[in-house]
Structure 1
Amino acid sequence: MAQSFAHGNYSHTQRKARTGGGRTDRDRARRTLSQNFMVDPDAIARLVEAVGPHDLILEPGAGEGVLTRALAETCGRVVGYEVDPRLAGRLAAGTRHDARVRVVRGDFLSARAPREPFAVAGNIPYAITSKIVDWCLRAPGLTSATLTTQLEYARKRTGDFGRWSMLTVRTWPWYGWELLGRLDREVFRPVPSADSAILRIERRSQAPDLPGYPAFVDYGFTGLGGSLHATMRLRYPADRVDAAFTAAEVAPGTVVAHVHPDRWAVLYDRLHHTR
């Protein structure tokens, strides 16, 4: 979501509408809806460049449309979803003569995914990051999702901490996860409590048929045996597990989160796939 306004002091406007708790209605809406608007032109340009050109873009949390309009300059059509009726109304009024933009006054999470190929892009409400990512991963026509998220979330999903999350591993054969850059908290208004990042989730051109792979990964992450090697020995013959880990070049004592997603495909092929 995006909104353009200066970086000045807004205490004079806030005093006009103060209600209980010392917050304006606008303040409470921002807090409830997790609204932190991108106001830095360079940051917006970086996000648009990361998105790239597409025929159809869905934008969760369009706000007043700073990012919406920027995306429309490089993409064929942009459908902006905004759950805040005040912001949705302003964006719809401001873009009513722009055939490239359509505004939906409602929750992106309730949207039906298009049948045609499409991408998702946006400065999303961080409180529902996981729900938006899950929506994207379930959409058959999704080609990519380029999202601003909290920096910690993006680092966790892309292995930037030196370890890998279960979600990343279980979706890796079909989706690539990439951290495209960090965004200082000062590029947003209100200023959030943590820095952000641009996260890119891209569907791979080849979708392998791996029946049971997600369940295989889920079992590996249970940690029943301590290390991944020991856990797999609880389900598969020891000699096969040893051979699989040798083929995958994974040391037996390796902690499950430190096993690169590429190595999981080898383990699956040598263990589950040949059961």
Structure 2
Amino acid sequence: MARSFAHGNHSHTQNKIKNSGGRTGRDQARRTLSQNFMVDPDAVARVVEAAGPHDLVLEPGAGEGVLTRALAETCGRVVGYEVDPLLAGKLAARTRDDSRIRIVRGDFLAAHAPREPFAVVGNIPYSVTSKIVDWCLRAPTLTSATLTVQLEYARKRTGDFGRWSMLTVGTWPWYSWELLDRLDRAVFRPIPAVDSAILRIERRAQTPDLPGYRDFVDYGFTGLGGSLHATMRSRYPATRVDAAFTAAGVAPDTVVAYVHPDRWPILFEHLA
């Protein structure tokens, strides 16, 4: 995306940099939009392989189109969303003759989910990771989301720290969360301050009907009493709580974040 001024007269650019604290307008836009482009072909190939083939893919933050074009080689249709008008215009012009690719000049978060099954794949801006993940989880026809995110975010959501987040537990009956691969920061330009990871969220083949489950999880994470067992005893009879924890194989003194997501539906079944 950056122009080269290695040759010729570029004093006008130097003046812009001096007047903007050392950054050009494009540099400032990149920072505002959290633009870190994937430039390593091997990293791109790993993301495409992790995503797998799909009939329809939506790509948040298409950027310069490196991942967009790679996805088009394995997927039927790719709709790339790019909020930066300059980048969107350039990418639309470069791909106008490729019937597999459509570029939307706008914010992915404002898009409506397709009525047909689709996947989301993207090297997403770190600053809107949670918003994009929430969008994916609300989309009724989403089959999977394969996203490059901050390594810490991926580890937190997939239990890699040995602890589980409320979001993961609350969606576990319907979605699996998996950290598939780690990406060194050097595969991006500009180079970010942290390493990244490929996070895959996949809708389960069987999605149970559990009304009230997420409220149950939210209450469990309030931390009343220090342990999940103590929290539940503040709402349910002690004998029922004891029986539920025995059935789920969870020790009474287990801190809520250390209860595996597989155990929560069993607790819910016995208590709620």
Category of TM-score, reference length = shorter chain: over 0.9
Kindly report which structure 2 residues correspond to 1:161-172, keeping only aligned pairs within 5 A, or say none.
161-172=161-172
Call closer, same or farther: CA 1:244–1:9 in 2, change over 3 Å.
farther
Call closer, same or farther: CA 1:124–1:237 in 2, change over 3 Å.
same
Q: Distance in 2 between matches of 1:93 and 1:208?
A: 45
Q: Which residue of 1 aligns with 2:14?
A: 15
Q: Distance in 1 between matches of 2:253 and 2:114?
A: 45
Letter in 1 for 2:213: Y
Call closer, same or farther: CA 1:235–1:148 in 2, change over 3 Å.
same
Q: Distance in 2 between matches of 1:199 and 1:122?
A: 10
- Structure 1 residue 209: Cα displacement: 0.5
Letter in 2 for 1:175: Y
Q: Distance in 1 between matches of 2:119 and 2:6?
A: 36
The 8 Å contact of residues 37 and 64 in structure 2, kept in 1 or not, is answered as no
2:236 maps to 1:236: yes
Q: Which residue of 1 aligns with 2:200?
A: 200
SS of equivalent residue, structure 2 residue 181? strand
Q: Distance in 2 between matches of 1:11 and 1:66?
A: 26
Q: For the aligned residues, what is the CA RMSD?
A: 1.8
- Could you report, residue by residue, the CA deviation over 1:17-50 in whole angstroms, capped at 9, with x for unpaired residues? 4242121111101100000000000000000000
Q: Which residue of 1 aligns with 2:221?
A: 221
Letter in 2 for 1:15: Q
Q: Which residue of 1 aligns with 2:56?
A: 56
Q: Which residue of 1 aligns with 2:76?
A: 76
Q: Distance in 1 between matches of 2:259 and 2:7?
A: 51
Q: Distance in 2 between matches of 1:113 and 1:166?
A: 25
- Structure 1 residue 136: Cα displacement: 0.2
- Structure 1 residue 130: Cα displacement: 0.0
Call closer, same or farther: CA 1:9–1:137 in 2, change over 3 Å.
farther
Q: Which residue of 1 aligns with 2:183?
A: 183
SS of equivalent residue, structure 1 residue 181? strand
- Structure 1 residue 180: Cα displacement: 0.2
Q: Which residue of 2 aligns with 1:156?
A: 156
SS of equivalent residue, structure 1 residue 178? strand
Q: Which residue of 1 aligns with 2:264?
A: 264
Number of positions where the alignment pairs a residue of Structure 1 with one of Structure 2: 268
Q: Distance in 2 between matches of 1:55 and 1:9?
A: 42
What's the TM-score once normalised by structure 1's chain length? 0.94
Call closer, same or farther: CA 1:87–1:10 in 2, change over 3 Å.
farther
Q: Distance in 1 between matches of 2:225 and 2:27?
A: 49
Q: Which residue of 1 aligns with 2:85?
A: 85
Letter in 2 for 1:193: A
- Could you report, residue by residue, the CA deviation over 1:211-268 in whole angstroms, capped at 9, with x for unpaired residues? 1000000000001121000000000000110011011010000000000000001100
Q: Distance in 2 between matches of 1:102 and 1:10?
A: 34
Q: Distance in 1 between matches of 2:7 and 2:153?
A: 32
The 8 Å contact of residues 154 and 197 in structure 2, kept in 1 or not, is answered as yes
Q: Distance in 1 between matches of 2:158 and 2:180?
A: 10
- 4+ long deviations beyond 4 Å: 8-14
Q: Distance in 2 between matches of 1:184 and 1:123?
A: 13
Q: Which residue of 2 aligns with 1:254?
A: 254
Letter in 2 for 1:54: H
SS of equivalent residue, structure 1 residue 163? coil
SS of equivalent residue, structure 1 residue 180? strand
Q: Distance in 1 between matches of 2:20 and 2:170?
A: 46
- Structure 1 residue 69: Cα displacement: 0.2
Call closer, same or farther: CA 1:259–1:206 in 2, change over 3 Å.
same
Letter in 2 for 1:136: C
Kindly report which structure 2 residues correspond to 1:21-170, keeping only aligned pairs within 5 A, or say none.
21-170=21-170
What's the TM-score once normalised by structure 2's chain length? 0.95
Compare 20-29 and 152-161 and name the one that shifted more.
20-29
Q: Distance in 1 between matches of 2:71 and 2:258?
A: 37
Call closer, same or farther: CA 1:145–1:9 in 2, change over 3 Å.
farther
Letter in 2 for 1:92: A
- Structure 1 residue 16: Cα displacement: 6.9
The 8 Å contact of residues 39 and 189 in structure 2, kept in 1 or not, is answered as yes
